[in-house]
Chain A
Amino acid sequence: MTIEFEAPKPIANQQSMLKTVAEEMMRSKSRYFDEHEHEIPYDYIEFMHIAMRATGAGSLAPKEKKEEAPDPNKPKRPPIGYQMLAHMLEMLCWGDVGMYLVTPGGGLGAAAVQSAANDEQKAKFLARFGEEKPTFAAMCMTEAGAGSDTASIRSTAVLDKEKNEWVLNGEKIFVTSGHKSIVPDAKFGKGFIVVWATIDPKAGRAGMRSFVVESGTPGVRVEKLEHKLGIRCSDTATITLTDARVPFENILGSPTVEVSTKGFKGAMATFDATRPLIAATGIGVARAALEFVKEKLAENGVTIRYGLPRQKLTNIEREVIDMEIMLRSAWLMTIKAVWMADNGKPNALESSMSKVKGGDVVTKITQKAVEIMGPLGYSREFLLEKWFRDAKITDIYEGTGQINRLVVARQILGYSGAELR
């Protein structure tokens, strides 16, 4: 081992292709879909589905390793699945984060299956994403009364022993891609949602389980789609479950309440993998904003004189340089966190730190970018104002900046949730 910062070859190879996608398929449609909230970008979805089937790229979780006899003549390469995803997400979100969020595939739903399901379940639920039609899955965790405080989820799952089915009841909000995952659409394959519910309301976290609920299940309804500050291309659904029945084997994790909080920890482990990826999405947006600012400044004859002491810099130069420091360091923290994930190193701390930093800096960078560009920054003639609105979500979903600070603090202090509330 040694310290290195060269993107692995397969990553470098995919980046130019992704950049073309970002420019041709995303940037050109960004404004349209921002102004036509809830319209589905079928062209983009179909294109991405075909492209991803061809390349094997897919959900938020890297592909399962194939069980092949190792070739002793081939040098062993360390896995780079999450690193590859981070790069991919960053580039696609540099194109458009709202559209990226409707990229077909398993998303957080598949990531939850990936991290908590047994092999049989994985085979059953994940195969569909490689099939002919683009297919979506979503994670249903948040409730009106349980945001970051996921342990106070009220949705229930009761086992109907006679029919060997789970009966789910509750209301889920803020479900990203919820509509595409659960409402049948002729152009899409059969999707699913992963619903978090308690199998024993008295058991607290120990009773928390996730259930795969297939598209078209009776009793599951999309109540509304949210109108948002940004990422308008992405549908954010409220979903109700009214006596919705799923087969017994759709439970992810143990069907009985144990003293441990393993089920809950399964959900949290998903976040260790996905938090740096969320940081990567925001970093893509922030990079777009920073590049735009530098381009416009250059057009107006303003060059950034790197290397000067601050005393000699103009205010704009200082701002731009500070933005670059923020962006680069946040990106490297993200890479570090996914590198750890790929190499099986526990990364709860680094994962949350990358999200804290990422959420912070992309918000600051896009805010500053709009300010520096003045009326041009505020104008909908350019995408900058949109990127300001889009970037903000980075500091909110997958655990707000504050929740992630709490996670970081507990890690560095060695405190449990009870010791540091």
Chain B
Amino acid sequence: MYSFEPSDEQKMLMDAASRYAANDLRPAGREAEEGKELPLKLVNKGWELGLLQASIPEAYGGFGDRSAVTGVLAAEALAFGDLAGALAVGTPGLFALPILLAGSEEQKQQYLMPVIEAEWKPYTAALIEPAFDFDPNDLRTTAEAKGGDYLLTGEKTLVPYAEKAEAMIVYAKLDGVTKGFIVPKGAAGLSFGAEREKFMGLNAIPFQRVKLQAVKVPAANLLPGDFAPLLAAQRVAMAAMAVGLARAAFEYARDYAKEREAFGVKVAQKQAIAFMLAEMATEIDAIRVLTWEAAWMLDTGKEEAFKEAYLAYTGAVDMAMMVTDRAVQVLGGHGYIREHPVEMWTREGRGVAMFTGLAIV
């Protein structure tokens, strides 16, 4: 059966996420970007929506089952408000969901409850590496078995809340494949860049480099499961957030074009503008349905799910760039000015290509 209608439960969740996105994240987004800080209260309010908690079974302290489809619906709704805020709310998921999806029973018992039963706390993950050809399936960070331990060596970038994190998942190459490792706070050999990393966008989130110099973790900290489903879950999550971000930019540009006058008419009445908007709306929906299908394939265990997630994410990279750029273009000179959010969104739009691993569903 085909169906493009979320369940009633999903609709309720999307409604709650959308309200938070519109009433809390959006109004705070610009200031957070300029002030380089997201208020903890704001993030906590998003955390209380219970999106992550609803993905974790009762046995581990949650109240639901993980669904990638539900995850992408929520991700789009949140990112529509503010991408940085949406990512921050979901950051503990970067730690918890890989354990749920690829962890051992003992790991789930030990690690999940403290994350989801508490208030929002910085748990995180380190995947991305500072190289132009960074490839999640061919990491430079290595894991070496030694005695009953693993030694992790390498350098990570774009790690949210790195130094403050209670614990993190570090991805490293073990025997040629990517694996996740649970690294506790204060592990010997673990160090952080002296300063926060500065990027073109997402300045509200504290990112740091993470250096691993033969960080020793016990063998029990290796996530036994495969990386492929984790990567796919990261890709569809970022694709969905790109859809939310793009929809924000599209709607803002659309509304502006209906207000702004030129030559005696609204600029939206000019086909040059109207057609741009039509194409933006079309591309957003194209990537949305592709993302939904990829998430549905993940949920139903379809063989092509990993490929589809890759296609959705790759498509989302181009879509987000196209839509957010055009939003600036529709506003013209005003789009370039920081008074309007579209210039921030186009900086974030370019980042979608680099953000694999900053979100997961």
Contact = CB atoms under 8 A, between A and B. Distances in A.
A and B interact: yes
A204 B254 CA distance: 31
Interface range, B side: 35 or more
B300 to A, nearest CB: 8
Interface stretch (B43-51, B57-65, B93-101, B290-298): B290-298
A3 B285 contact: no
B354 to A, nearest CB: 10
A335 B3 CA distance: 9
Interface in A302-330: 306-312, 321-322, 324-325, 328-330
A309 B135 contact: yes
A325 B353 CA distance: 16
Contact of B268 (A80, A408, A413): A413
Contacts of B277: 409, 412-413
Interface string B269-289: 101001101110111011101
B285 A5 contact: no
Interface residues of A, number: 47
A73 B289 CA distance: 34
A324 B133 contact: no
Given A329-B290, A415-B269, A4 B3 contact: yes
A413 B5 contact: no
Contacts, number: 146
B3 A1 contact: yes
Interface in B230-284: 231, 254, 257-258, 268-269, 271, 274-275, 277-279, 281-283
Interface of B: 1-8, 10, 69, 132-137, 231, 254, 257-258, 268-269, 271, 274-275, 277-279, 281-283, 285-287, 289-290, 292-293, 296-297, 300, 306-308, 310-312, 314-315, 318, 353
Given A5-B297, A328-B293, 13 more contacts: A2-B10, A8-B2, A306-B311, A329-B289, A330-B286, A332-B292, A333-B285, A336-B289, A350-B285, A356-B282, A405-B274, A413-B268, A421-B269
22 contacts: A1-B7, A3-B69, A3-B296, A4-B2, A78-B1, A306-B311, A307-B310, A309-B133, A321-B311, A322-B314, A325-B315, A329-B286, A329-B287, A332-B286, A332-B293, A353-B281, A402-B275, A405-B278, A406-B278, A412-B278, A412-B281, A413-B268
Interface of A: 1-8, 78, 80, 83, 306-312, 321-322, 324-325, 328-330, 332-333, 335-336, 339-340, 350, 353, 356-357, 402, 405-406, 408-410, 412-413, 415, 419-421
